[in-house]
Amino acid sequence: MLKIAVAGASGYAGSEALRLLLAHPGYGKDFEIGSLTGGSNAGNRFGDLVPHLPQLADRVLEDTTRDILVQNDAAILGLPHGVSAALDLPENMYVVDCGADYRLKNESDWDRYYGSEYAGHHTYGIPELPGNRDLIKKSRYIAAPGCFPTGATLAAVPGIAAGLIAPQISVVSVTGVSGAGKKPAVSLLGAETMENARAYNVGKHRHTPEIRQNLQAVVPDNEDVYVTFTPVLAPMKRGILTTVTAPARGSIQDIRKAYEDFCAAEPFLLLLPEGQQPETQSVRGSNMTHIQVEEVDGMVVVTSAIDNLTKGTAGAAVQCLNLMLGWDETAGLPQTGV
């Protein structure tokens, strides 16, 4: 039985990964929950920090160190940016890193948006990207995608890869507040975020180059990709509703056909029937991406809904782990929303 550790277990990404693992059909059969680690929370009873997972309530958080983590066969890392690179985990472990450390292939993008030392890159954890599923199966270390890039990439790639949407896209993503993590800050208080909408990091958000990188990988003829990305914080716990606006390069019939073809074989992509728009509540707690595509006056608007903590983070992590470990890709990943 494999031991799967979760680092940053009391954070939103870590505890969501644990929720999924506890309901995974392989739990207790193919794997057990290994080390649970924390940063400043190390030493605390897990149930005092995370009351919704009673099965693990009496566990005590260990330190997030290499020594602790190497006692496990696999690990899902829900750590602040920069921490995972410093851990330098051994190559015989299966690792899914939910942080940004190894996502970007272009060092100058890293320098511009992150500024810290560049750590390199690892296989990127969106199996739905053309060719990526096989890479993931052969990998040992996965850079799980950011939540916004997941919603934007899955919305834009089918049309852009088919050459039917111009790669000059404007992305606006409406997100729930858990995306900012579990750190205390006045601007993230309930009293500041309820009954409120505000854009933030306009033109500067670190997920921008990640979206561009994903689209550049699929655009025909290596045409240059332009992305403007604006995140908007909305008063909800979870969920991302992404709108992608871009010039059409084909009829809506052809565009729709491209999305149908792309989604047909994917267990976690659902192109909704015409007229039905994605809603974040429909994918809450599930690993699904709901998608719709409309055309008006020569412009395409693609909308997608994901749960930022599930398909946007921990669900993608489990999906990648399933692939790496040779298990059913969909195991433990709900297709139904709560």
Q: How many residues bind a copy of itself (CB under 8 A)?
A: 83
Q: Does 51 help bind a copy of itself (rule: CB under 8 A)? A: yes
Per CB under 8 A, contacts with a copy of itself among 141-170 are 170
Q: Is 292 among the residues that bind a copy of itself (CB under 8 A)? A: yes
User: Residue 142 is which amino acid?
Assistant: I
Is residue 282 part of the contact set for a copy of itself (CB under 8 A)?
A: yes
First to last CA, the chain: 30
DSSP-assigned letter for residue 177: G
Residue 257 CB partners (closer than 8 Å, separation 6+): none
Contacting range for a copy of itself; rule: CB under 8 A; set: 26-34, 132-140, 141-149, 230-238: 230-238
Our CB check for a copy of itself shows the closer of 129 and 177 to be 177
Token code pair at residue 113: 């948006």
Nearer to a copy of itself by Cβ, of 123 and 228: the residue is 228
Phi-psi region of 8 (alpha: psi -120 to 50; beta: other; left: phi over 0): left
Q: Count other C-beta atoms under 10 Å from residue 62's C-beta.
A: 20
Q: Which helix (H) or strand (E) holds 321?
A: helix 315-324
Are 214 and 130 spatial neighbours (Cβ–Cβ below 8 Å)? no
Q: Kindly tell me which of 66 and 198 has the beta carbon lying closer to a copy of itself.
A: 198
How is residue 204 written in tokens? 């500067």
Q: Which stretch binds a copy of itself (CB under 8 A): 27-35, 92-100, 153-161, 289-297?
A: 289-297
Asked if 254 touches a copy of itself (CB under 8 A), the answer is no
Smallest distance, a copy of itself to C-beta of residue 138, A: 30
Query: Could you say which of 245, 250, 325, 330 contacts a copy of itself (CB under 8 A)?
Result: 245
Question: For a copy of itself, which residue of 272, 325, 327, 330 counts as binding (CB under 8 A)?
Answer: 272
Interactions with a copy of itself, residue window 181-210 (CB under 8 A): 182-186, 188-200, 202-204
Q: Which is nearer to a copy of itself, 139 or 308 (CB)?
A: 308
How many Cβ atoms from other residues are within 10 Å of residue 46's Cβ?
A: 22
- Per CB under 8 A, which region of 61-69, 123-131, 155-163, 276-284 contacts a copy of itself? 276-284
Of the pair 186, 264, the CB lying nearest a copy of itself is at: 186
> Residue 235 interacts with a copy of itself (CB under 8 A)?
yes
Contacts of 272 (CB under 8 A, 6+ apart): 278, 290, 291, 292
Does the annotation count 98 as an active-site position? no
Contact flag: residue 42 with a copy of itself (CB under 8 A): no
CA distances from 13 to 149, 182, 226, 248, 306 (A): 16, 9, 30, 36, 15
111 binds a copy of itself (CB under 8 A): no
Which range touches a copy of itself (CB under 8 A), out of 117-125, 130-138, 142-150, 231-239? Answer: 231-239
How many angstroms separate the CA atoms of 87 and 126, rounded? 23
Q: What is the DSSP letter of 92?
A: T
262 makes contact with a copy of itself (CB under 8 A): no
Cβ neighbours around 251 below 10 Å, total: 11
Which tokens is 160 given?
A: 């852009």
Active site residues: 147
